[in-house]
Structure 1
Amino acid sequence: MGKDADNPITPSSIDFSHPLYLHPSDTQAVTLVSQVLRGSENYEVWSRSMRLALFARNKLGLIDGTCLRENQDEKLRGLWDRCNAIVLSWLVNSVDRQLATGIVFSSSARSVWLDLKERFHKADGVRIFSIHKAITSLKQGALSIPEYFTKLRDLWDEYDSLAPLPTCQCPTTQEYAKLVQQQRLLQFLSGLNDNYHHAKTQILLQSPLPTVNQAYSLICQDESHQLISYSTPAHPTEGATMVARGGRQGRGRGRGRSQEECSHCHRKGHKRENCYHLVGFPPSFRRQQAQVSTADHTINTSSSPAQTPITQQQYDQILKLLQKEKDDIAVTTTECIEETISGHLSWQNKEDW
């Protein structure tokens, strides 16, 4: 006591560990938390974030009652007023505008904190029931695994703030904590989509059951494996087919196939001004067609009968043979008709004679 009386604390002698010490960055324009208080629906998350931010700046005592003005030395009360005004500004900056108008005229940061707690801290059965229902009904749906897990963790944290677990270290409390963790593991797995069925089965077959964080890590690995599987072609021969067809799609009509329909040939994939039936077929068209037919034949040998493509020369030879055979049949038919007619006329002349 004698030493404190000989060396009283003054504003100039305050070090950084004192709750009334103001760092140059401690200004009124600072926003401590990104979560803005809107009402009872997010009060628990907001209050937890604010307490952490004030504790980090060593200003938590100005709202929890451990650093009151009447307990300070007469010379430090002016400094306490400055610290109280700065903390009050931080509170105003972290609430919604409609709420800020009701607390901007207050003179004590602690009184504002207690007023917000009394108005929005609803630890009743209705609030607990609504959070519990949101936890049990939450599904992954279109969310990714990290987004789904983060949303579920936020609901768990808010539920714990309204219905906290026992803090003692007795065996009964430890068993209860293990049961809560097991329930949360089941809640996490039950909300996943059906494409994680195999991974969920593998997790539930483990003994003992993993923690929620371990299960989250395993599901993330399974999600990465599924993404790799989706990006890999199902058949190795698809690459060869696309190479064979790439030349046809990349020449004359642009890369890729559009959904436009030609008004001349009524086929999709090109316009009238690019139609081969009007502008003419390119020299390499038949060779590319033969390459595509060969690639398709290689892929579909197990499901369709073999088809041997013919060249234009072979096609012309077949037409000549067919035409020749048609001419021979016509000549033979003409000769038979002439013989029949001549024979009939000869018989009639002979009878008449």
Structure 2
Amino acid sequence: MESESSSESSLEKSMENVLHLQNSDNPGLILVIAPLNGTNYLPWSRAMKIALCAKDKIGFVTGEIKKPSKNSPMFKKWRRVDSTFWESNGPLLYNIKREISLFTQGNMPLMVYFTKLKKLWDEVQCLRPFLVCTCGNCTCGASKAIADFDEDEKLIQFLMGLGDHYDHVRNQMLLIDPLPSASKAYSMALRVEKKKDV
């Protein structure tokens, strides 16, 4: 009983340390010099992780620091720290999704088109919260359904942006059941392109 009480006390102290804000911590604080602009995710992410680790706030991003219940004495402190360091990804997510919806192959080689589109998908994946099944080891099939839906979206985006000279390939891919992944569709289109070049 006594060890349980002391472990709760040390956990509470640890939480208090993480929830402590320095005088320099404020909502206008710039943690990294170069803002995320849609093309610099990897260096920005690394710099942000270093900055949050230095401030002992990385646990808010990784999920290690759990949101206390609303009736907990730590809730107000947690909310204050969370609101100091959290900024909505909404505007950036909107811009990237809009760019994806307007993105077409145009005069780009197929390989360049797919690589740029994949980069945009990766950026969206980093900004969007990852949906997970709440049943545990996912016996209900929700995780697979979410992944399949996401893959179908990517396929449709890829096919919509393909040049008109890929109409025949596009139509063939849409008739496949189940739909192929975007990567598989890309490799199929690439094979057709290479056959035309020969």
Tell whether 2:91 aligns with 1:126.
yes
Is the 8 Å Cα contact of residues 41 and 123 (structure 2) preserved in structure 1?
A: yes
- Matches of 2:85 and 2:170 in 1, distance apart? 39
Tell whether 2:160 aligns with 1:190.
yes
- Per-residue CA distance 1:195-228 (angstroms, 9 max, x = gap): 0111111111111111111111001001111222
- Per-residue CA distance 1:26-78 (angstroms, 9 max, x = gap): xxxxxxxxxxx742204533244x38xxxxxxxx8x7664xxxxxxxxxxxxx
For 1:201, the equivalent position in structure 2 comes to 171
For 1:39, the equivalent position in structure 2 comes to 35
The aligned amino acid for 1:147 is: V
- Matches of 1:121 and 1:140 in 2, distance apart? 36
> 1:297-312 to 2 correspondence within 5 Å?
none
Helix, strand or coil at the partner of 2:105: coil
Call closer, same or farther: CA 1:63–1:127 in 2, change over 3 Å: closer
- Matches of 1:150 and 1:195 in 2, distance apart? 19
- Matches of 1:160 and 1:64 in 2, distance apart? 21
1:165 to 130, 139, 155: 130
2:197 to 202, 212, 227: 227
CA RMSD in angstroms, aligned pairs only: 3.1
Call closer, same or farther: CA 1:208–1:221 in 2, change over 3 Å: same
Call closer, same or farther: CA 1:120–1:198 in 2, change over 3 Å: farther
Call closer, same or farther: CA 1:122–1:159 in 2, change over 3 Å: farther
> 1:1-353 to 2 correspondence within 5 Å?
38-41=34-37, 42-48=39-45, 50=46, 65=53, 110-111=54-55, 123-168=88-133, 169-170=137-138, 171-228=141-198
The one of the two structures with greater contact order (alpha-carbon pairs below 8 A, sep at least 6) is 2
Call closer, same or farther: CA 1:193–1:39 in 2, change over 3 Å: same
Q: Which structure's CA Rg is the greater one?
A: 1
- Aligned residue pairs total 135
- Matches of 2:85 and 2:35 in 1, distance apart? 6
Deviation, 1:161, is: 1.1
- Percent identical pairs in the alignment equals 29
- Matches of 1:121 and 1:47 in 2, distance apart? 15
- Per-residue CA distance 1:276-319 (angstroms, 9 max, x = gap): xxxxxxxxxxxxxxxxxxxxxxxxxxxxxxxxxxxxxxxxxxxx
- Matches of 1:226 and 1:139 in 2, distance apart? 21
- Matches of 1:120 and 1:158 in 2, distance apart? 20
Helix, strand or coil at the partner of 1:176: helix
Deviation, 1:120, is: 11
Helix, strand or coil at the partner of 1:180: helix
- Matches of 2:85 and 2:163 in 1, distance apart? 35
Is the 8 Å Cα contact of residues 39 and 120 (structure 1) preserved in structure 2?
A: no
TM-score by length of 1: 0.34
Call closer, same or farther: CA 1:122–1:64 in 2, change over 3 Å: closer
Point out where structure 2 has 5 or more consecutive residues left out of the alignment.
Answer: 1-32, 62-82
Call closer, same or farther: CA 1:45–1:210 in 2, change over 3 Å: same
Is the 8 Å Cα contact of residues 159 and 170 (structure 2) preserved in structure 1?
A: yes
